[in-house]
Amino acid sequence: MVRDIARTVFSRLNFVGGAPRAKTAPNIYNPIEFISALIRSLEGEVQNGGRVNIPTYGEPGALIEKSGENGKGGSKDPGIYGAIQFPTDLSASAQTVIFRKGVDCPDSYTNTDVSCVHGNNEIKKSEIGEWRDNFCEVRGNYRLFVCPAGQGHAGQDVWGDWRGKAGMFPLRAAVDGVAFRRFPAQPAVTLSDVNGSNIDYIYRHMRPSVLTDHGILASQATPVTQGCILAMVDQLQSVAEEKTKLMDNGISYDATLPHLHFEIRVPTKSGFQNVSPYSTLVLSHRSQLTGAFKARTTAIPCTQKPNKKVDLLHQPQRVIAKKPISLRK
């Protein structure tokens, strides 16, 4: 699987503006073989040394059975959309927030300890810490053409055993780029790689007041560096129509469980489109655990520097095609 992921990393350079190296016989100078061998050796080293436990990562598109829209599966896209830093604590897992043991089922389902039942449809809950794709999972009516059913969950849930622990785990900038929010009450932030791939990374469910405290202001673009803290994991779903106990800056919100909803949107000829973030998260988590990727983890908030403002209206135009990138040194 590592070799397949590495191959996908370089094949995707075409999409974000580069050109892959011509196919040659595998040798030590082949970057795909080099990355594959490096991650494999590091995984064995850290696993055998007992320094870290490498989890078992589920395959892309392998949703919990029957948890997809109309019972269909997920997107089997193995694409790696950017060399990102894992956006939160490495103890977290990419797995569904609604069909997991220890969590109650949605209101329309009958809840049991091990499953969620709706009519003749039974969805077994996943184990805590089990890595499972849940892009395209049943969630409302969000249209996604990349999903087999044409709709589903637009991102990936990321969390640990964080019940009752809102505000305790940092959410970090996945790349160097520009962070922005559309309006003051929005419990979300978009991080755009404006100087590289033009890919957008969306974080949801944090407190707007904490985003402000970390320098991410509404209607203002903020330059951030990879690894700085955007906000903390929280549970704000959306602005509520009626008053609730979950409030921020005097505004009521509907609640979800503390977790990160992480999305990736890529530029296409038809505009920005959601793609599965699962394989990208797997690679970032795997490479950080092994040390193949040196994370720039800091305790520093992503506070905007006073002399480094960015005007989104005058950023270079987002394009898909760029000059070819040579993989040779």
Q: What is the pLDDT of residue 82?
A: 87
Per-block average pLDDT, block size 10, for the chain (329 residues)?
A: 45 38 46 59 61 85 92 90 92 94 90 91 92 92 88 94 88 95 95 91 97 92 93 95 95 95 93 94 89 80 56 40 35
Q: Please state the pTM of the whole predicted model.
A: 0.80
Residues 6+ apart with CB under 8 A from 67: 96, 99, 123, 134, 137, 138
108 secondary structure, DSSP code: T
Rounded to whole angstroms, the Cα distance separating 262 from 204 reads 7
Domains of the chain: residue spans and CATH:
2-314 (2.70.70.10)
Residue 209: helix, strand or coil by DSSP? Answer: helix
Q: What is the pLDDT of residue 29?
A: 47
- From the list 74, 56, 57, the residue with the least C-alpha distance to 65 is 74
Tokens representing 325 are 């990138």
Q: What is the pLDDT of residue 163?
A: 82
Residues 6+ apart with CB under 8 A from 25: none
- From the list 83, 62, 60, 75, the residue with the least C-alpha distance to 4 is 60
Q: What is the pLDDT of residue 303?
A: 78
Q: Residue 8's CB: how many other CB atoms inside 10 A?
A: 19
Beta strands, E only, the chain: 93-94, 110-111, 115-118, 121-124, 156-159, 170-172, 177-180, 188-192, 200-204, 222-224, 229-232, 234-239, 247-248, 251-268, 271-275
Tokens representing 259 are 């977790």
Q: What is the pLDDT of residue 211?
A: 95
Residues 6+ apart with CB under 8 A from 164: 258
Q: What is the pLDDT of residue 196?
A: 83
Residues 6+ apart with CB under 8 A from 168: 162, 232, 233
